[in-house]
Amino acid sequence: MLESAEIEREVHRALGRDPRVGLYRELIAIEYQPDGGLVLEGETESLAAKKIALELAGSIRGLTGIVDRLRVAPARPMGDGTIHDQLRTAISEEEAFAQYAIQTSEEHRATAPAGRGNFPEIAVSDEVVTLDGPVESISHKRLAGVLAWWVPGTRG
């Protein structure tokens, strides 16, 4: 079995070999946990670079899991309120969510109008979007996630 420092070095080398992540590997903290898990924390330049970094780290033998604390550098810095408002608008304009009543963390959870379900709660903190609640399908879940990533200031 590999030692903690050796696993961290292997992950660091793997990130450095891929040009889509390599330039940003210095912004990623790598910490091996006693339970065999690995924590990646820091910032990448794009969502693609984040996903690639996670995949590369996951390919290292001897790991039991990865804790993803990576954030994406925002395309355009925005405040949490602006991100929230833009995401709420995007979701409300999306036909797939026409039957949902959108909730926010600031609103009292009232009963939705007849025939409409509650859209998962939208919360934004430190430019990281959290969507919490049920939707009717995995497609709806993924679409909501894509809409969140399309807001230029979203970091996670």
Q: pTM of the predicted model, to two decimals?
A: 0.67
Number of independent structural domains in the chain: 2
Which range of residues forms the domain containing residue 68?
A: 4-72
Once rounded to an integer, what is the mean pLDDT over residues 43-48? 85
What's the pLDDT tens digit per position in 84-138? 999 989 988 888 888 877 665 554 334 344 444 566 788 899 998 988 878 888 9
Once rounded to an integer, what is the mean pLDDT over residues 13-28? 78
Share of the chain above pLDDT 90, in %: 21
CB 135 within 8 A of CB 145: no
Buried/exposed code over 44-59 (b: 16+ C-beta within 10 A; e: otherwise): beeeebbbbbbebbee
Of 43, 72, 101, which closes a domain? 72
Once rounded to an integer, what is the mean pLDDT over residues 38-63? 88
* Same domain, yes or no: 84 and 146: yes
Of 50, 72, 94, which closes a domain? 72
* Same domain, yes or no: 146 and 101: yes
